[in-house]
Structure 1
């Protein structure tokens, strides 16, 4: 299963989700992207890397990239961090494509770049990741 996590700039929430899910389900093919292109090529935001690192998630190899319409064909599931990102993703959907786009959590995942609550963001992502993996039966490669 190929899963793409998407937020606004791809420097906080989506790389954190990629790192969390990679630790929980290393057998999956994962990536992350942003709907905006401001940070293309940049590593995840330092305070997010630090907060994630304190929980055992290494985000340092990741680099920001921008979401493209081609991602609909490259991934089996696209996971948006909030409703606005989901709407921005859907605007790029190619005609006839049926790749599911779902929200990471029941609520929007607040952007810690603005809220400064990196630990709170990670709490939501960890809880949502467990639920997502269970709902999609992705916890182990043998299900």
Structure 2
């Protein structure tokens, strides 16, 4: 199986995308596929660069046995568009922001389309309470599980992963 690189993107890289990165990394580790994936997250904005994820994201992940406390927020960079096979935006606003600066060959998709198959936006829980973070965790877990299954299945069938479309 060829190495697959995935970048999860939200607005500030402190709530949704760090959770997605943590969940997907956890699932990859559980599946014994760590050497087959490069997983990261970024934000379309740079307000929180260098910061840890939101404490509510950290607490939610921890309650499910996942440690994201060592992650640090970063803003998406132009090299990300060539370094990652698949870039997943958490909502349409971030998808539009990415599309405005990405080269044509970049594989940028809405998480709700690529991972969940529903076309839904993953809501930003920042202005709410812990229940919003738990809801986001649940949707991300469902999507990340389906995404991993799909990517492994495609790699097994085709013998490579030259395209994740």
Question: TM-score by structure 2 length?
Answer: 0.79
Q: Which runs of 5+ in 1 are unaligned?
A: none
Using the alignment, how far apart are the partners of 2:65 and 2:10 within structure 1? Answer: 22
Query: Partner residue of 1:137?
Result: 152
Structure 1, residues 91-133: CA drift from partner, whole Å, max 9, x if none?
A: 1112xx4121111123100111123311001000000111212
| Aligned pairs, number | 141
- Going from structure 1 to structure 2, the CA distance change for 1:138 and 1:81 (only over 3 Å counts) comes to farther
Query: Partner residue of 1:15?
Result: 18
Secondary structure (helix, strand or coil) at the match of 1:11 reads coil
Using the alignment, how far apart are the partners of 2:93 and 2:151 within structure 1? Answer: 23
Q: Which runs of 4+ in 1 moved over 4 A?
A: 138-141
Structure 1, residues 4-53: CA drift from partner, whole Å, max 9, x if none?
A: 00000000000000000000013211110000000000000001100110
Question: TM-score by structure 1 length?
Answer: 0.91
Query: Partner residue of 2:133?
Result: 118
- Going from structure 1 to structure 2, the CA distance change for 1:138 and 1:80 (only over 3 Å counts) comes to farther
**How much has 1:138 moved relative to structure 2?**
6.6
Using the alignment, how far apart are the partners of 1:20 and 1:74 within structure 2? Answer: 21
Q: Which runs of 5+ in 2 are unaligned?
A: 113-117, 160-165
Q: Which has the higher helix share?
A: 2
Using the alignment, how far apart are the partners of 1:113 and 1:125 within structure 2? Answer: 15
